[in-house]
Structure 1
Amino acid sequence: MAKKRREISETDGLSPVETDVKSGDRDSKLLKEAQHSIGGSTRMSLLILASIFACSAFVMYLVYRNFPELSDDEMQKIKIPKDMDDAKALGTVLSKYKDTFYTQVLVAYFATYIFLQTFAIPGSIFLSILSGYLYPFPLALFLVCLCSGLGASFCYMLSYLVGRPVVYKYLTERAQKWSQQVDKHRDHLINYIIFLRITPFLPNWFINITSPVINVPLGVFFVGTFLGVAPPSFVAINAGTTLYKLTTAGEAVSWNSLAVLGILAVLSILPVCFQKKLQQKLE
């Protein structure tokens, strides 16, 4: 009440125009303070994120320190693949040591895949293809699905801890639109997440970052991701069995595989459609 009386007293004796100017100045000041607060939160979030990234990179360094001793030529090939040539070179080195140092190679692959997924770094598609070359198909599929699920969940948790100011500042409009879609599918959210993972309608990094902001439960997020990445991973892993015949990542996807992915995407959403029709009939 005292604050309100002070505000009234500040405008007493002023003309309507002067009162509007006074109120406008106050609103502008509040807006600037809010923007400054968001900017400060964004800077702090980015600082925390950079610290977490540095710690994770150090863990990756320790993982590769435990790797078998490599020649200088082999060391140059141990890097995150950016194209199919890098993937082939990496596959040559890993296949050479996979049988003798099975655990070290597996841990290095597992850690690298999760690291890329956690920080939304491109390159995991080449690791998916590479898994089909290195491991039996069932193990490769489980490994890729698990790494994708865990990595995406870690990215989710990072966004939950420090990513909200970044989303509010840079992705507000897109996040609001997706939030409206999620609200429409709350009753069958797992099917919706599976559908999104199979189809290219939304980038995976966007789904990972915005899901905690729009209140997608972590358990639903992990299960939907684990199951949803299986069909695309099936295609990539199958292509990995003929790794050295590929020249680009695009060759891993044929028209037949696209048709299969389309069918699986439709199947993932069919239970939802049947449920809605059943509810309409019962009503």
Structure 2
Amino acid sequence: MAAPRNLVVETGRLMDEENAEDSPTSKKPIGAKLEGKVPLTRWEFAAALGVFIIFSSGLFCIYLTMPAAEYSKIKLPRTMSDLRMLKDHLVTYAEAYPAKFILGYCSTYIFMQTFMIPGTIFMSLLAGALFGVVRGLFLVVFNATAGASSCYFLSKLIGRPIVAWLWPEKLRFFQAEISKRREKLLNYMLFLRITPTLPNLFINLASPIVDIPFHVFFLATLIGLIPASYITVRAGLALGDLKSVKDLYDFKTLSVLFLIGSISIFPTLLKRKRIYE
């Protein structure tokens, strides 16, 4: 027995709608995960490689101007023991050639931050160990802000497919939160920078994608990184007491950061309360 005509029509319509949703040409929301595909096109990959080569060449030229040293002992630390050995090796070098050492330190930090190379927290601890709290804090905040800004513009060039591929759900959440807080965007970005609510790496990459203006991004980064940087730089004064990076952020430290972050977002919460009243 043949199915009624209206049932056939409705079934066909449903099948067409489902096929349209699954079609690769259909428009997908931001953050749709690209499974089984390379997230970058050929031109985007070439652009990213070109930027990396330019930065690497600049960094290499800076290292060529450095005084001779035992380079076999200079490597990016991965553990606290590596960091302690590096610090012992660099103390004399930093005192003998302060300007050139700072140039090399800053260029390395910014390079790592720009290209999302893990280990900047060890660089922050090293700043505290070698330069003390005041100069170390200035160097860390300057480098972290410069590196985050470079990463922002790099993401503006090639970041959208990468972030949508790696963190689709997190990107959708971030975009929704930003759209709700456009009027007090600086306060919200300060809260994110001060507290570990979202990773700094994700914030650097996702900010241009969700249309956060650069001046807001820059100010929030410059100011918001100060509390956590102070904790890290100060910890660098006592490297011998640290067993791992996890020792830096215990419950008490995280509570203080969330308290400071809550102060930055308080005007937004107060305004929302008045609206509902």
- Calculate the TM-score normalised by the size of structure 2: 0.83
How far, CA to CA, are the matches of 2:72 and 2:243 in structure 1?
20
In structure 1, the partner of 2:144 is 148
* Pair 1:58-2:57 in alignment: yes
Q: How does 1:132-171 map to 2 (within 5 A)?
A: 132-171=128-167
Q: Which amino acid aligns with 1:208?
A: N
Tell me by how many angstroms 1:213 deviates. Answer: 0.8
Q: Unaligned 5+ residue runs, structure 1?
A: 1-14
How far, CA to CA, are the matches of 1:76 and 1:245 in structure 2?
26
Aligned length: 263
Q: Which amino acid aligns with 1:202?
A: L
Greater length-normalized contact order (CA 8 Å, ≥ 6 residues apart): 2
How far, CA to CA, are the matches of 1:108 and 1:228 in structure 2?
25
* Pair 1:111-2:107 in alignment: yes
Query: What per-residue deviation string (whole Å, max 9, x for no partner) do you get for residues 36-95 of structure 1?
Result: xx9685343223212211221222222222222113xxx222122211122112212221
Structure with more of its chain in helix, by fraction: 1
In structure 2, the partner of 1:194 is 190
How far, CA to CA, are the matches of 2:237 and 2:40 in structure 1?
47
How far, CA to CA, are the matches of 2:152 and 2:54 in structure 1?
18
How far, CA to CA, are the matches of 2:211 and 2:200 in structure 1?
17
Give the aligned CA root-mean-square deviation in angstroms. 3.1
Q: Secondary structure at the match of 2:159?
A: helix
How far, CA to CA, are the matches of 2:41 and 2:90 in structure 1?
40
* Pair 1:277-2:270 in alignment: no
* Pair 1:183-2:179 in alignment: yes
Percent identity for Structure 1 against Structure 2: 33
Tell me by how many angstroms 1:110 deviates. Answer: 0.7
Q: Secondary structure at the match of 1:135?
A: helix
In structure 2, the partner of 1:215 is 211
In structure 2, the partner of 1:86 is 82
Q: Which amino acid aligns with 2:103?
A: V
Q: Which amino acid aligns with 1:31?
A: P
Tell me by how many angstroms 1:214 deviates. Answer: 0.6
CA shift in 2, pair 1:169/1:246, >3 Å: closer
Question: Which of the residues 25, 31, 49 maps onto 2:24?
Answer: 31
Tell me by how many angstroms 1:174 deviates. Answer: 2.4
Q: Secondary structure at the match of 1:31?
A: coil
User: Could you tell me whether the CA contact under 8 Å between 1:77 and 1:86 is conserved in 2?
Assistant: no
Q: Which amino acid aligns with 1:84?
A: M
Tell me by how many angstroms 1:280 deviates. Answer: 4.9
User: Could you tell me whether the CA contact under 8 Å between 1:236 and 1:253 is conserved in 2?
Assistant: no
Q: Which amino acid aligns with 1:130?
A: L
- Calculate the TM-score normalised by the size of structure 1: 0.81
**Could you tell which deviates more after superposition, 155-164 or 251-260?**
251-260
Query: What per-residue deviation string (whole Å, max 9, x for no partner) do you get for residues 99-124 of structure 1?
Result: 22011110111111111111111100
How far, CA to CA, are the matches of 1:164 and 1:43 in structure 2?
15
In structure 2, the partner of 1:9 is none
User: Could you tell me whether the CA contact under 8 Å between 1:45 and 1:163 is conserved in 2?
Assistant: no
User: Could you tell me whether the CA contact under 8 Å between 1:42 and 1:166 is conserved in 2?
Assistant: no
CA shift in 2, pair 1:271/1:29, >3 Å: closer
How far, CA to CA, are the matches of 1:219 and 1:181 in structure 2?
19
In structure 1, the partner of 2:227 is 231
Q: Which amino acid aligns with 1:121?
A: I
Q: Secondary structure at the match of 1:197?
A: helix
User: Could you tell me whether the CA contact under 8 Å between 1:118 and 1:154 is conserved in 2?
Assistant: yes
User: Could you tell me whether the CA contact under 8 Å between 2:112 and 2:120 is conserved in 1?
Assistant: yes
* Pair 1:99-2:98 in alignment: no
| Largest Rg, 1 or 2 | 1
CA shift in 2, pair 1:91/1:32, >3 Å: same
